[in-house]
Amino acid sequence: MDVRGNTVAYATLIENTVYRMNADGTAVQPLFTATTAVGSVAVGPSIYFVQPGSFPGNQAVLWQAGADVGATSVYSDYYGERVASDGTDIYWIDANRTLIGKRTPAGTVTTKTVPIPNALTFEVDATHIYFAANDVSVAQAALYRLAKDFNSDAELVIGSQDVGGQGFYIAHVVTDDTKVYAAIGGAGGATGKILRKNKDGTGTAESVVAFIGMEYGSSVALNNDTLYYTDGMTPQVVAIPKTATNGSGLRVHEGLANGLRSVVSNGYLYFYGSGPTGGVWRLPLP
């Protein structure tokens, strides 16, 4: 799910269908039904989404949806499943071949090799791409960043020692002008948390929330000076000041958020619903 301006795009798990709708939930329109599950979607100049492949074997396909129903394959020489946009260019990650790709609106494609074996978290801000290693079996949960011009190598931002070692993974990240905020999930009963650190990797990682139940995944979003996180274990949305240290959040919604992804846009928090209700929901923010 992604939101930009008045456009919301999301994919369904059962139908493998990509939808577009207005930000207020009107004009819901199916765009394309894939033959396999859709990995992720991004709203840029167009709506982009990934139909994952397998390595070795079937290649993934990056699709671009037009103004009308239907989509066009614009890139297929990779095996990733994550896609993100900064509103202009589209970016994807190929975890199997350890590279990140970029496609301009004109169709120019460039790639950059990154030293990472697996990446589930994939976000873009004004200057950098943030991606994570999430191999909890060998305690290698870590967050990296890569300059969007591809002129330098990837930098380590949050190391596995900051995350907590084995049993943890980076579920989602969001940035402001100087800091990155990472939602850390705990596997096998380990307790999740949100960490704050300088975007360039300097300094010490600080705990914003010391105890949250994110064993089954979480997302984090930022609105001005407030962080909002969704919890996959106990469906809820919690707010906490971004400057808090080992703080306690305020529950602002309970019973729907499933922890997969959340996005702040135009004064609303958009998030996936949980349980049989499902769907995309939005919560007005103060």
Query: What confidence tens digit (pLDDT) does each residue in 178-201 have?
Result: 999 998 876 655 567 889 999 999
pLDDT of residue 67: 59
Q: Is the pLDDT of residue 79 over 70?
A: no
246 plus 190 within the same structural domain: yes
CB 270 within 8 A of CB 263: yes
pTM across the whole model = 0.89
pLDDT of residue 136: 52
Q: CB under 8 Å to 225, separation ≥6 — which residues?
A: 241, 242, 243
Residues of the chain above pLDDT 90, percent: 41
pLDDT of residue 108: 93
pLDDT of residue 275: 63
Which residues make beta-bridge pairs with 62?
A: 50, 75
Stretch among 82-86, 152-156, 232-236 having the lowest mean pLDDT: 232-236
DSSP secondary-structure letter at 59?
P
Looking at every residue in the chain, the average pLDDT score rounds to 83
Give the domain extent around 61: 1-113
* 205-219 average pLDDT score: 71
Highest mean pLDDT among 17-31, 36-50, 115-129, 174-188: 17-31
31 plus 51 within the same structural domain: yes
Task: List phi, psi (to 5°) of 258.
Answer: -100, 0
Q: How many domains does the chain have?
A: 2
137 plus 191 within the same structural domain: yes
pLDDT of residue 237: 87
* 19-48 average pLDDT score: 89
90 plus 149 within the same structural domain: no
* 210-219 average pLDDT score: 61
Higher pLDDT pick, 31 / 79 = 31
Q: Is the pLDDT of residue 29 over 60?
A: yes
pLDDT of residue 187: 61
Of 88, 113, 138, which one is at a domain's C-terminal end? 113
Residue 212: how many CB atoms within 10 A of its CB? 25
Q: Taking Cα atoms as reference points, which of 148, 130, 99 lies closest to residue 198?
A: 130
Q: Is the pLDDT of residue 240 over 70?
A: yes
pLDDT of residue 139: 53
148 plus 7 within the same structural domain: no
84 plus 140 within the same structural domain: no
Q: Taking Cα atoms as reference points, which of 234, 216, 222 lies closest to residue 208?
A: 222
Q: How far apart are CA 76 and CA 137, in angstroms?
A: 30
CATH number assigned to the domain comprising residue 85: 2.120.10.30
Q: How far apart are CA 63 and CA 156, in angstroms?
A: 30
